Amino acid sequence: MKNQKILCIISALALTFTLAAACRTVDEPPPVPTPEPVPDINDDSAVTDTISLQWAVWDIEAINYYEPLIEAYKDIAPDISIELVNLNIDTWNNDILTHLIGGHDYDIIKILDAQGYLMHVNTDMLLALNDKATDRGIDIGNYKGIPEQFMIDGNFYALPFICDFWVVYYNKDVFNELDKDEEELDIVEEAEYEEETKVNKPSNEMTFDMWSEMIRDATHGSGEDKVWGNFFHYWRSATTLFGILDGSHTIYGGSYDFLKPYYEAVLALEDGRYVPRRTDVLAEPLHYRDLWLSGHLAQLNMGTWFITDAVNSGFNWGLAAYPVPTSLSYGNTFGRVKQLAIPKSANHPIEAMNFIAFVISEQGAQILASNGYIPVNMTDEALEALIEIPGVPKDDITIGALRPSQIFLEQPLNENTDDINAILDEVHNKIMDRAITIDDGITMMNERVGAILASIK
């Protein structure tokens, strides 16, 4: 069945490529130059005079790390030039696969997501990088557990270079003011209190239960002066994926009982008016960016991509590590990564791997960080470059939050990603809208996803 599926994909995409070639417009890239002879990929001593590598990328105008990486690499390998080939990110996975099947000889391609990675590997388009990484002294243990999550039959076919992961943003001014209020209360009513009460502040060692209590404590005010303890985005990942951070559960496992305590906690926070209700967020609509920048949020659980907005905050803020199920999981979070891979059709796989090794190296990481991106290989130098960006906090808690121990994939490898996500999203929305009970919703998830998994065994 799997082979038939792959053949169908290849046949359909080959037809797509033929039709696209027949309808080429003047806005499309010119044909790729005639391929050069492919060197022996097992002989890393192969050398040529001048080599041009084709790197398939997206958003050349918007992404600012391409040219700095290329310029820095010239100092290391002056005989290598790198040509960027810009493609549409919205149709990236299908476009790349269509091009590779049609004979394009990109030397390096970016991997957008787990679904695209699986598509390229299943159609036998990528080189395994295990031996090439070992030969260059690359220790995949330095990459937050990510290469291991992309293993297929013992091989990995890409290496991660940048990532976004989930953290807690918090308004330091809000928590400082709450502390001040508590201290004044202690002084006024000293006779009634045996112990000093303080509002706990976010830290890099928070269980979900500890953090939930912190949300309650930080909520105050009313009307236009209301400060919410947190804002849960309506995305499913924002309310329930805390549960995968113990490393024992996955959203594609077919059993979802582990989500129950998170649904219970978030709905209770909504009922207590400690966080905006999902129905209100969608109806008004309310956006977390507006509430954060206006100072109406004490905390916000969100991905590191929001740093580019948070630097414009008109108040003191910081980052804390993501809340986890138990203290055994401190330092874990989940997120998404961008990777680099070498197609089997590459003209220069040896030189391509050398460039990839540079991008994921300490020097490459520092270049990425200095341009505002979070490298997977977060070295001391890269971290220093990142926090030197104007507006990024420099406190110890923020620094620790930017160096998670492990990043679990928000969307792991799975052949049935779309079908499973559709079920989970549908049921999630019904639970959060209180159209069904949590127990009934989890039963629906277990039964419907379980049926999909059973059908492919």
**CA–CA dist 270, 443 (Å, integer):** 23
Mean of the per-residue pLDDT values of the chain: 89
- State phi, psi for 436 to the nearest 5 degrees: -140, 160
Q: Does residue 330 sit in the same domain as residue 342?
A: no
Alpha-helical runs (H) found in 29-128: 66-76, 92-101, 114-122
Does residue 107 sit in the same domain as residue 234? no
Q: Do 228 and 88 have their domain in common? A: no
For 352-410, the pLDDT digits (tens) are 999 999 999 999 999 999 999 999 999 999 999 999 999 999 999 999 999 999 999 99
Examine the domain organization and report whether 427 and 291 are in the same domain: yes
Expressed in angstroms, the distance from the first to the final Cα of the chain is 11
Nearest partner of 207 among 299, 329, 335, judged by Cα: 329
User: Is 298's pLDDT higher than 50?
Assistant: yes
pLDDT band for position 49 (50/70/90)? confident
* Length of the chain in terms of residues written: 457
Q: Are residues 32 and 176 in the same domain?
A: no
What pLDDT, on a 0 to 100 scale, did the predictor assign at position 109?
98
Note down the domain range covering 367: 2-164+336-409
φ, ψ dihedrals at 169, nearest 5° = -90, 140
pLDDT band at residue 456 using 50, 70 and 90 as cut-offs: confident
What's the pTM? 0.86
* Residue 111 host element (H or E): strand 108-111
Position 184 pLDDT exceeds 60: no
Do 60 and 129 fall within a single domain? Answer: yes
For the segment 287-308, the average pLDDT, to the nearest whole number, is 97
Give the residue-averaged pLDDT of 330-355. 98
pLDDT at site 38? 38
DSSP 149-201: HT-BTTB---EEEEEEEEEEEEEHHHHHHHHHHHHHHHHHTGGG-SS---PPP
Cα gap 79→346, rounded to integer Å: 18
Question: Quick one: how far is CA 271 from the chain centroid?
Answer: 30
216 plus 238 within the same structural domain: yes
Please state the three-class secondary structure of 224-277 as a single string: HHCEECCCCCCCHHHHHHHHHHHCCCCCCCCCCHHHHHHHHHHHHHHHCCCCCC
Cβ atoms 58, 78 nearer than 8 A: no
> Who contacts 130 (Cβ-Cβ below 8 Å, separation ≥6)?
154, 155, 156
Residues 391 and 419 in one domain: no
